[in-house]
Amino acid sequence: MGTVTPFPLPPGRATQIGFDRMELTRILDLYGRMVAAGHWRDYAIDLGRDAAIFSAFRRATERPEYRIEKRPALRHRQGMWALVTEAGAVLKRGHDLAGVLAPLERRLLKLVGD
């Protein structure tokens, strides 16, 4: 009953990239605090062959304000984590998720302090 059997993939198909439990917990914790501050209202998760992307929206009908991207192919170069703005500019890139989320957490402290 406690055994998880992976779903078989067709031959020659790459596996899907995803967030592990600790990464998703960290991201959703930040999302919850931003919702409580009244800044974000919606999110989306895109799991693909090359990247896993968490997008945070101010409103559901707009482009995402921020995207948190995990690209394991860049792990040995500039880091597999990236924080991308609404305009598509990379705000922060690194090997550690906490370092990449730091600009958003600093912004959250300013929002609550006002």
What is the chain's mean pLDDT, rounded? 84
Element (H, E) at 102: helix 97-113
Instruction: Give the pLDDT score at 9.
Output: 63
Q: Answer yes or no: pTM beyond 0.85.
A: no
In this model, does residue 17 exceed pLDDT 70?
yes
Quote the Cα angle for 23-29-34, to 5°: 130
* Tens digit of each residue's pLDDT (9 = 90 or more) over 34-78: 888 888 889 999 988 888 999 999 887 778 889 999 988 888 888
Instruction: Give the pLDDT score at 4.
Output: 74
Which one-letter amino acid corresponds to residue 7? F
Q: Who has greater pLDDT, 81 or 7?
A: 81
